[in-house]
A and B are shown apart, each in its own frame.
Chain A
C-alpha cells in the first residue's frame, strides 16, 4: 500500500529531494497555545529557543510572531530567512495540506486528524499528564482507589493515539530509566474494596480539566469503582494537569515537576537509587497520580528538510532546517 500524495505537489519534488540545503524562504509554524503575554516568551521550549539564531521582529500577543534570521548567529546564519508563528489556531485550521503551513503542532489526541503517513517531528515524552488532588480529598483510600481505577492504557491508546507512554511515575523512562518500577495497571477489585470502606459522603468529588474527554473517561472509570466524580470547570477537588519536564537531568526534572505540582521539594539525590527513593516518596499518599507522558508532536510539510527541528526535550532548533521554495 502506498500513501496518497498531498495535493498540489509534483513528482519532480522527489527528484530534488537529496539536494543540498537551500537558503531563504519562510518557515511557517502553527502552534496550539496562544501566548497572551505582552512580550514574547523568554523561557521554555518553543519560541524562546529561537533567540540567538533569530530575532523577533513582530509580536501580536495571542496571534502571531515573526522571527528574522540573525546574520551573525552562532554557528552561522540559519537557512531560512524567517519563522512565521501562528498561535492558537484551532485544530480544523491547523492543516499541512494546501501548503498553508510547514510545521503544525498537534496534540497526541489530534493526531488522528493528520493524514496517514504524515511526516512528524516528535520529542521524547516531556509532558506529564497527572491528576493532582486538593486538600479536600482527605482520605488516602479514595486517592489510591482512583489511581487503581483509571484505565491508563485506554487513555493512552485512544485519547493519546498511542503517543508517548503510560506513566506510573513522575519521570519518564528516558530520563529515569526505572519508570517501569511504578505500577500502571488497573486493579478494579482492590479499588472497589477501598471505596467500600470509605463513608459514602467521602466518595464524591469534582474534577477540573481542559481535556473534557479525558476527564469524562476518568469519571467513568471512577464510577466503576464506586466513586462519583463530577467534571466541572474552574475550581475543583482534583485537577487534571499537564506539567512540562524542562530538563533531561533526573533530579532537576524531578524538582521542577514537584514544584509545578505543588509537591514538597524532593530529598537530596546523588544516585539513581536515591532519585528513585525521592520520587517514590513524592508519590506516597497518592496526592499526585501520574497518567501518561506525552511528546511534543509536529506534523512537517514536504518542503521542510534538515530536521528534526526539535530536541528530545521539545526545544526548537530551526537553524538547521531549510525549506523548498514553491515550484522549485
Chain B
C-alpha cells in the first residue's frame, strides 16, 4: 500500500469516524429523549388506569355495603329457611348495579348466586369481609374469569349472611382509559393460556417478580415498548397485569432518517476526505514519490537522477540531500569509471606487455644469435640465419594471434537481437562438440525444459559464449566426466546452466574468473570467460558461477 493510499485512508477513516461518533451521540440522545417522553406518557396512562380501578373498587364496595345494609339482606339473614331465597340474587344484583352477586349463609353455603344460579348449596370458601373490592378468580358457567369483589357480613342475632358482590374485570375497564396516538392498553388475566402472543416473556417476568416491568417487543417500526403493571388478588398472588404499549414507530423512523443523514454525511465526508486527502497527500507524497522514483532510477543505474523541489520543509531538505547524494554518486562513478578505465588500461597494458613479452624475448635472442653468428661464426650464419628466421616467424605468428585476439575482444559489436530458442542453441552446440566430447570421454547430459520460451538475443554471440563455456568445461575434465547442459524456463526468460564434474575452483578463483586474461589453464588467452561475461552483460543478463574444489563447476546464465 503506498504512502499516499495510507494517507488517504487515514483521512477518510478519520472523517468517517467523526461522523459516526456524532451520529451515535445524536441517536443516543434522540432515543433517550423519546424514551423519557414515552415513559411519561405511560406513567400518565397507568395513573389514569389506577384511578379508574380504585374508583371501581370503591364503587363496588359501596354497592355491596348498600346491599348488605338493606332490608332485603337483613330479611334473608334472619330467615331460617334460606331455600326460599334461591332466586333473589339476580334481582338484587340488578337493583344494586352489580354484575356478580352471591348470598352465602354463615356456614359458607351459597344461598343464591346471580352469576351461577344452579350453584345453590355449594360451598363458598372466601368469606373474609373486605373494606374495598379485591381481585379474585370467579367460576362462571362459561369458565373462569377475574372479578373485583367485595364481601360484607350481615348479622341478625346469631345468624350471619355474607354478601359477595362485584364486577368482572375485563376489557370494558380499559375503555375508560383515554389513549394517545401510538399507544394501546391490554389486560392480561391469569386464567390459564396466554392469549397475548409476543408478551409471554414479559408476563413471566411480572409473574416472577410481582413488580412493574418494562420490555420492548418486536423489531423495527413494529416494535413496541410495554410497561406491565401487576394486579394482585386478595391473597397477594398475581392475577392480572395491565400492559401499556407504546409504538416505537416514530423513534424508529426518526432514527432511520438520522441514520440516512449520517450515512449521507459520511458519504460526503468520504468524498471530501478523498478529495482533500488526494490534494493533501499529493502535496505530501508527490515529492516523496519523486524521491522514490529518483531513488529507483539511481538503483537502476541512472545515478544522475535528481528531484525537483522548491519547498523548504523536510521533504525539500530530503530532496536536496538526495540530489546532493546522486551528484556525489555521479562524481564518484565518474571517478570510479575513470579509475576503472585507468585500471583496465593498466591491466590491459600489463597483460599485453606480459603476453607480448613472451614472444618478444625469443625474438630478441634469435636476432642476437643471428648477430652473433654473423659476427663470430659467419660459416654457421646461414644455419643460424635459417633457424633464427623460423623462430622469428613462429614468434611473430604468436604475436599476430595475440594481437588478433585483442582485436577481436576490442571490436566485439553490440548484439543484434532476435528471437532465439535457447533449447535449439544448446542442442546445436552439443552436436557440434559431440566428437570432441567423445574423444575426451565426457558424457553430455541434456536437461532441456520444453517450456523455455524464445528470448531476444544475438544468436551468434550467445553461441560463442556457450562454446566458450563448453570448451572451459572440457578443459576442466581432462580425465573425462559428465557435462550437463540444463535449460530452465523462468518467469521472464530462461536459465542456462553448464555444469561439469571437473576439479572445481576455489572461492578466490571464482572471484577472478571473469577478469580478462585470468586463467587457470596452462593454455589459452584467458579471455574466453571475459568474452562470455561481456556477451551476457550486453544481453542484460546475469552470469554466476558455483564451484568448490573437487566438486565440479556450474556456470549459470540468466537471460530474459
Contacts and interface: CB of A to CB of B under 8 A. Distances in A.
The judgment on whether A and B are partners is: yes
A216 B118 contact: yes
Interface in B100-133: 116-122
B83 A217 contact: no
Interface stretch (A44-52, A153-161, A291-299): A153-161
Given A213-B118, A216-B118, A158 B141 contact: no
A112 B87 CA distance: 10
Contacts of A161: 83-84
B84 A213 contact: no
A112 B83 contact: yes
B186 interface: no
A220 B118 contact: yes
A158 B117 contact: no
Contacts of A216: 117-118, 141
Given A159-B86, A162-B83, A154 B121 contact: yes
Contacts of B119: 220
A128 interface: no
A144 interface: no
A217 B119 CA distance: 7
A219 interface: yes
Given A158-B86, A213-B87, A220-B116, 8 more contacts: A112-B86, A158-B83, A158-B121, A159-B86, A162-B83, A216-B117, A217-B120, A220-B118
Interface string A125-153: 00000000000000000000000000100
Interface string A198-218: 000000000000000100110
Contact of B84 (A112, A151, A219): A112
B376 to A, nearest CB: 157
B117 A213 contact: yes
A151 B121 CA distance: 10
A228 to B, nearest CB: 12
Interface of B: 83-87, 116-122, 141
A213 B114 CA distance: 12
Contacts of A213: 87, 117-118
Give 4 nearest A-B pairs by CB, closest first: A112-B84, A216-B118, A217-B118, A154-B121
Contacts of A112: 83-87
Contacts of B83: 112, 157-158, 161-162
Contacts of B87: 112, 213
A215 to B, nearest CB: 8
Interface residues of A, number: 14
B141 A157 contact: no
Nearest to A160: B83
Interface of A: 111-112, 151, 154, 157-159, 161-162, 213, 216-217, 219-220
A141 B118 CA distance: 24
B122 to A, nearest CB: 8
Nearest to A159: B86
Contacts of B120: 154, 158, 217
Contacts of A220: 116, 118-119, 122
Contacts of A217: 118, 120
Nearest to A110: B87
B118 A219 contact: yes
Contacts of B121: 151, 154, 157-158
A154 B116 CA distance: 15
A139 B85 CA distance: 38
Contacts of A219: 118
A160 to B, nearest CB: 9
10 contacts: A112-B85, A112-B86, A154-B120, A157-B83, A158-B86, A158-B121, A161-B83, A213-B87, A216-B117, A220-B118
Contacts of B122: 220
A158 B118 CA distance: 10
A159 B116 CA distance: 14
Contacts of A162: 83
Contacts of B116: 220
B72 to A, nearest CB: 14
Contacts of A157: 83, 121
Nearest to B85: A112
Nearest to B84: A112
A162 B121 CA distance: 14
B88 to A, nearest CB: 9
A154 B248 CA distance: 58
A75 to B, nearest CB: 40
Contacts of B86: 112, 158-159
A220 B119 CA distance: 7
A157 B86 CA distance: 10
Point out which of B87, B118, B122 has the most chain A C-beta atoms below 10 A from its C-beta.
Answer: B118
Contacts of A154: 120-121
Nearest to B141: A216
Contacts of A158: 83, 86, 120-121
A23 to B, nearest CB: 38
